[in-house]
Amino acid sequence: MFGKLLKHVRERCPLVHNITNYVTVNDCANILLACGGSPVMSDDVGEVEEITSICGGLVINTGTLNQRTIPAMLAAGKKANALRHPVVLDPVGAGASALRTKTALELLENVPFQVIRGNISEIKTLAQGSGTTQGVDADAADCVTEDTLAQSAAFVKAFAAKTGSVAAVTGAIDIVADGEKAYIIYNGHPMMSRITGTGCQLSAMTAAYITANPENVLEAAAASVCAMGVCGELAFERLGPLDGNASYRNYILDAVYRLDGETLERRAKYKIM
């Protein structure tokens, strides 16, 4: 199935509006082009409703949050909802500061999201109304392991049921769930944590997948997470003795561009709980 979902992205070339992280905005644009989508980057409140109207999907990413963009996020989210366009929330750093936490909760209260993607600490912050992260990284105490997997999967399902969204919690082990079913995904490589922006890129790519596959949001989100992980593995396999994290960053982008459905189906590692 995942291969078919990827094929739809490439055939339908979804146009995705991004209100995203200034640190990774170029990477997000390029990952959308690589996977088969098309990006628009706009965060001025004077045009976001117009821009999101011509797009198929929307990403709201709080990675470089500021007072100017918060109203734009709310306006774009409400407009996308009115047009029935899928919206992805990436609550970067929720729990790291009062502003980030308050804004993420305000967005969650005012904008229904089809997918909420974050690390486990960010998602726990949204679920509990407060929390802690290590900057924009998950708190080590929260990390999903085999020992905590059943408990974590139950938590993510409950959060998804409460919000009406698909929840995608990414880390060493990824969990993508709605209220009834969870995909437990084992793709990826630890070196992905040594470059900035893989999470932001994944949120952008997830928007492309769900926009191209609106009838299968859970499976499309899981396919996107698997695809990013597979590409992290393929990029690592390509590294030479003089390559470092800069090369790795580019190799991930190359791998997304070259990924085909057969490779995704063959290399995807997951189980369903």
The pLDDT mean for the chain works out to 94
| Residue pair 144/172 in contact by the 8 Å Cβ criterion | yes
Residue linked to tokens 């800069």: 246
pLDDT given at position 90: 98
pLDDT given at position 144: 81
pTM to 2 decimal places = 0.94
pLDDT given at position 227: 98
Which tens digits make up the pLDDT trace of 124-182? 999 998 655 544 455 555 688 888 899 999 999 999 999 999 999 999 999 999 999 99
| Residue pair 156/167 in contact by the 8 Å Cβ criterion | yes
Residue linked to tokens 């880390």: 171
Which tens digits make up the pLDDT trace of 199-243? 999 999 999 999 999 999 999 999 999 999 999 999 999 999 999
pLDDT given at position 145: 80
Which tens digits make up the pLDDT trace of 94-135? 999 999 999 999 999 999 999 999 999 999 999 998 655 544
pLDDT given at position 132: 56
Classify each residue of 145-182 as buried b or exposed e, where b means 16 or more C-beta atoms within 10 Å of its C-beta: eeeebeebbebbbebbeebebbbbbbbebbbbbbbebb
pLDDT given at position 135: 47
pLDDT given at position 107: 97
Q: How far apart are CA 160 and CA 154, in angstroms?
A: 10
Q: What percent of the chain has pLDDT over 90?
A: 91
In the chain the domains, ranked by start, together with CATH numbers, are 2-272 (3.40.1190.20)
